Amino acid sequence: MTAVRIGIIIGSTRPGRVGDQVARWVLEHASARSDAEFELVDLADFALPHLDEAVPPSMGQYAQAHTRAWAEKVDSFDGYIFVTPEYNHSTSGALKNALDFVYREWNDKAAGLVSYGSVGGTRAAEHLRLILGELQVADVRQQVSFSLMTDFEQYTNFTPAAYHQGMLATQLDQLVPWTTALKGVREARTELDRAA
C-alpha cells in the first residue's frame, strides 16, 4: 500500500502571521516519518475570495476556476493537519471560508489540529472540530497548542518548548492510522458507487 498523503494547511492569510513558522515546524518533524507523505499547503497561494459559488458545495458543481483548483488540491490528500490561529475565540475567517468552498473532497478523511494563540488557540480548535464534523472529517484527540506568551519570542518568533515534539508525535501516531483506515472507507465507497 502506498503511503497516505497528509496536507499541512496554514490556516491564516494575514500579513505578518506566525502560522507559517508553526506549519514548517510541523512539516519538519512529520517528514521524519516513513508511514506518510506530508505537504505544506498555504491558503494564501489560492487567493480564495469570500465564497462565491451559487450552488451549494455539497452538489459538487464548481463554477469558478479558483474553486476547482482548491478542490483538486484538497482532493489530493488522504488527511490533514490544520494549523489554526485563534481570532476572537474561533478559527480564522480565511480557514473557515476555505473549508466552506468544497465538500465531497473533505469527506471520510482524518485530521489533526495544531493551534496557537493567547491561550494556545484551544477555542479555535474546538470550533474547528464542529466544522470538521459537518464535513465528515474525523479529527483525532491529540491536539498541539502553542501559546503566544511562551512559545514565541516577542509574540512573533516561534521558539516552541521541546515537549511539543512529543505531543506532535502522539498526534501523528493517531492521525496516520485513521487516515489509512479512512482511505479504505473511501475506496470501498467508490466501488459501491461503481456497482450501483
What digits encode the pLDDT tens for the residues 114-159?
999 999 999 999 999 999 999 999 999 999 999 999 999 999 999 9
Between CA 110 and CA 66, with CA 88 as vertex, the angle to 5 degrees is 55
Instruction: Please tell me the predicted confidence (pLDDT) of residue 2.
Output: 77
Question: Taking the domains of the chain in order of start, what are their residue ranges?
Answer: 4-195
Fold held by 4-195: Rossmann fold (3.40.50)
What digits encode the pLDDT tens for the residues 40-88?
999 999 999 999 999 999 999 999 999 999 999 999 999 999 999 999 9
Residue percentage of the chain with pLDDT more than 90: 93
Residue 172 grid cell:
501523528
Report the alpha-carbon distance of residue 84 to residue 115 in Å, rounded. Answer: 5
Give how far the C-alpha of residue 24 lies from the chain's centroid of Cα atoms, to the nearest Å. 13
